[in-house]
Amino acid sequence: MYISGNYTIKEIADKIYLVGLKSRGGNKYHKSQIYTLLNNKFYYGIITSHGEEYAGSHKPIISKRLFEEA
């Protein structure tokens, strides 16, 4: 949704809330939390620890290209 440019961060927060993605407290994600998710390299396979980045042993959820587009 973000890459399409058709949705604001608020609209994304609203949509993901409606499909059941909620914060730990059961609330809608705040815009800053959405930005944090969009900038988390974990989703394309990178682990950050103590300021260093490492290839994770987990299967990436998205490609690095898609991450960089976002």
The rounded distance, in Å, linking the Cα atoms of 37 and 35 is: 5
The three-state secondary structure class of 54 is: strand
30-60 pLDDT per residue, tens: 999 999 989 999 999 999 999 999 999 999 9
Short-list 33, 32, 38, 31, CA closest to 62: 38
1-36 pLDDT per residue, tens: 999 999 999 999 999 999 999 999 999 999 999 999
Beta bridge partners of 52: 49
